[in-house]
Structure 1
């Protein structure tokens, strides 16, 4: 599997000037969209409250936005049970035409989660979700990363959630693509290993081992923070 780097769990100290603090009814995220019944039930069963907690924008933190990142929103999702699924977060994400960072919180613990959002269409495109480990709700918080504008702040916030280190000069989007390719390879290797265990023919076993070795080498390249010149 993709091995995470050992990074310090991160929670941010959001600027007071950016506080928004507006409760948002859960129904707002599915009453006007094509959300299946099972997902609506997850909203009801898993979420206690949704709060639009902070708005990071030019008029709140004095960082210029662009058409790709006009503002950054921070939503707090208070859980009823143990957790909230990425599917629920995506349903919220798709209805808000700004990048969002989520804090998923219970009475005792909190985690950050976000997926890179692209705003070049009517419906935002959501990439893979990344999350921190659970932390105590009173865990220390760090200042926001230093940034020149909102796009660079968004990039830095997302990078802090990645389960592997980014390579020199690599964007979050490129790192996400690399991780997605690595996870696909992991699934392929697992399927080949399963076939190998039950394959009776020697020639087929040799071919399966060759395919596993080949994919494992590519996987090692994808997960190496310092790639070789061959990639």
Structure 2
């Protein structure tokens, strides 16, 4: 099992097991008609599965992470729109880890979620990272070792960020590795920022390629080719500087 596909054996003491009606999510997320339709098409059931809190996992709360909630979404489609996850994140004022289930498979998904520096009552939610699909009956690992709730949250997110970014990078460019002696500790926030930058730059490269494929005029193709080379070089710079642990999914 790869690290990005790890499923966790959530502590029994943290079990919550409450089914959440979709209309409660709509209410707290301010859902419009399009979002409600998306839930109807893609979501069968939402269960608030576990509450990882100081009293259930014996770890001290931190300023940013008092509790971590685990939600299990039974999906009607193999691909779950990120808007569904974002709506639930908007409705629940805690960091969330999702178990997405479809058929006999399950995988983790999460976005880095933190209180806003401008308004601590608001939450900032980043891009979503997803693990690999695993059989429902796959072996589960114990929770990562951590000193407090904040560290536990980071340890749960790290393999998702590393695995998805490594997969993206391997499909785009052959990224050089920095020499071992130049490696420095990299925070989760830095890794996520780099991962999001790589994702955005990769999309940009694909858009330029699409423009190039449509363009027939020679002079314009020359200009677009130059733009494409510059965009690819920037992507290579980003991926080449990506931390080795994230690239190799260690």
Output the TM-score relative to the length of structure 2. 0.79
Aligned to 2:154: 155
1:218 correspondence with 2:220: no
Confirm or deny: 8 A CA contact 2:105 2:134 kept in the other structure. Answer: yes
1:24 correspondence with 2:25: no
Deviation for aligned residue 1:66: 1.6
| CA distance in structure 1 between the partners assigned to 2:5 and 2:184 by the alignment | 22
SS at match of 1:188: helix
Confirm or deny: 8 A CA contact 2:60 2:148 kept in the other structure. Answer: yes
Aligned to 1:106: 102
Confirm or deny: 8 A CA contact 1:94 1:125 kept in the other structure. Answer: no
Structure 1 stretch 64-73 or stretch 45-54: which is displaced more?
Answer: 45-54
| CA distance in structure 1 between the partners assigned to 2:165 and 2:77 by the alignment | 29
Aligned to 1:3: none
Structure 1 stretch 32-41 or stretch 140-149: which is displaced more?
Answer: 32-41
Confirm or deny: 8 A CA contact 2:4 2:159 kept in the other structure. Answer: no
- C-alpha distance after superposition, 1:118-163 (max 9, x if no partner): 1233332110000112111001111111111111110111111111
1:45 correspondence with 2:36: no
Mapping of residues 59-70 of structure 1, within 5 Å: 59-70=55-66
Mapping of residues 21-170 of structure 1, within 5 Å: 21-120=17-116, 121=119, 122-162=121-161, 163-164=164-165, 168-170=184-186
Confirm or deny: 8 A CA contact 2:46 2:71 kept in the other structure. Answer: yes
SS at match of 2:146: coil
For this pair of structures, how many residues does the alignment match? 220
Instruction: Name the CA shift for 1:193/1:68 in 2 (closer, same or farther; >3 Å).
Output: same
| CA distance in structure 1 between the partners assigned to 2:92 and 2:114 by the alignment | 12
Deviation for aligned residue 1:192: 2.8
* Structure with greater helix percent: 2
- C-alpha distance after superposition, 1:80-118 (max 9, x if no partner): 343432111110111111100000113411111000111
Mapping of residues 166-185 of structure 1, within 5 Å: 168-185=184-201
Structure 1 unaligned spans of 5+? 1-5
Deviation for aligned residue 1:173: 2.1
| CA distance in structure 2 between the partners assigned to 1:127 and 1:214 by the alignment | 27
Mapping of residues 198-213 of structure 1, within 5 Å: 198-202=215-219, 204-213=220-229
Confirm or deny: 8 A CA contact 2:191 2:243 kept in the other structure. Answer: no
Question: CA-atom RMSD, angstroms?
Answer: 2.2
- C-alpha distance after superposition, 1:30-87 (max 9, x if no partner): 1254211121122233222211111111111111112210100101112234343211
Structure 1 stretch 114-123 or stretch 125-134: which is displaced more?
Answer: 114-123
Output the TM-score relative to the length of structure 1. 0.85
